[in-house]
Structure 1
Amino acid sequence: MQYLRKARSVPCRWVLARNLILVAATAAVTSRTAFATTACNTPSNTSTIGNQSQYNKISNMDSAPVYEAGSSSVAFVTTPDKESAKKLAHGIIERKLAACVNIIPQIESIYMWEGKVNEDNEYLMMIKTRTARIDELSKFVRENHPYSVAEVISLPIQAGNAPYLKWISQTVLDSKEKRENENE
């Protein structure tokens, strides 16, 4: 019995730690107060570690206009296994429907389905994209997902690291920019 208690406590701690990180990341992405809307990298508030050329690279990235709250989103999709998650992630990135997909293994889902409470281990995909592309992303997931009813939910990003948000917008073109590039 004591062996079972020890065997269960270690994975539970890992699961708890992973879940706390996921909740914190989600809260940080969706909370306006979590980050400034623009980065302010001046020599007085940057770390003394590193050299001036690293500072210049960061400064150049921050010369972007102020981030428009809600123009990017994080979408969440669950899958039954790692292979399904990776296949969807590759398709999403190849089609430039998102800039990045994180796959979080072995989340525990408890849900109501066909009148019964179900409990399953799933994989969670955290997908960073432009809000304007959520409908296309949802359509792609629905057409390629192993579940008959795929979970696709999104939350707008209110604020964050300005260079990262700029990278999302440069990597994932909105529908209008996509059409303009195709016509060229």
Structure 2
Amino acid sequence: MYSIVVTTILNKSDAVHISELLISERAAASVQMVNVSSVFRWKGEVHRRDEIQMLIKCKQRDYKLIEQLIADNHPYETPEIIQLNINNGLGTYLDWIKEVTSP
């Protein structure tokens, strides 16, 4: 019923913009932004980059809306956007996610 959507983005200003959009649209209850160092292969080359990882707490059913909002506002050609389902969690926390996101 609930999930965490993960994406990474190059800079804090873009992360804040997308976070505020997700919250204002009531697609997400909260977004945590964490500095990470990434190593990945892109178009045949290995890249190393400091990025911001966004952990987006939401209802599972809102994934497509979140995916679209991120994709429409993300500067990467192919952004990481993945959904991790929450199997268990503190009941009052999960109730809060339900309360602050769209009905």
Does TM, scored on the shorter chain, surpass 0.5? yes
Which residue among 135, 138, 142 is the counterpart of 2:64? 135
CA distance in 1, matches of 2:13, 2:69: 17
In the TM superposition, residue 172 of structure 1 has moved relative to its aligned partner by 1.5
C-alpha displacement at 1:154, in angstroms?
1.1
Deviation at 1:136, TM superposition (A): 0.7
Is 1:88 equivalent to 2:18 in the alignment? yes
Could you tell me which runs of 5 or more consecutive residues in structure 2 were left unpaired when the two chains were aligned: none
Shift of 1:170: 1.5
SS at match of 1:160: coil
- The gaps in structure 1 that reach 5 residues or longer are 1-70, 178-184
Tell me if 1:119 matches 2:64: no
1:74 maps to what in 2?
4
Query: Which one has more relative contact order, counting CA pairs under 8 Å at least 6 apart?
Result: 2
Partner SS, residue 77 of structure 1? strand
Q: What is the aligned partner in structure 2 of residue 66 from structure 1?
A: none
Alignment deviations for residues 43-97 of structure 1 (CA, whole Å, 9 cap, x no partner)? xxxxxxxxxxxxxxxxxxxxxxxxxxxx000011101011110011001100011
Q: Deviation at 1:122?
A: 0.3
Q: Which amino acid aligns with 1:123?
A: I
1:145 alignment counterpart? 74
SS state at 2:65 partner: helix
Residue number in structure 2 paired with 1:52: none
Larger Cα-atom Rg:
1
The whole-number CA distance in structure 2 between the counterparts of 1:121 and 1:88 is 18
For the residues of structure 2 that align with 1:158 and 1:170, how far apart are their CA atoms? 19
Q: 2:76 is paired with a residue of what secondary structure?
A: coil
Give the structure with the larger strand fraction: 2
Q: Distance in 2 between matches of 1:89 and 1:172?
A: 14
Q: Which residue type is aligned with residue 91 of structure 1?
A: L
TM-score (normalizing by structure 2)? 0.96
Q: What SS does structure 1 have at the residue aligned with 2:38?
A: strand
Which is richer in helix? 1
| Matched-pair identity in % | 28
- Describe the SS at the equivalent of 1:154: strand
Shift of 1:113: 0.3
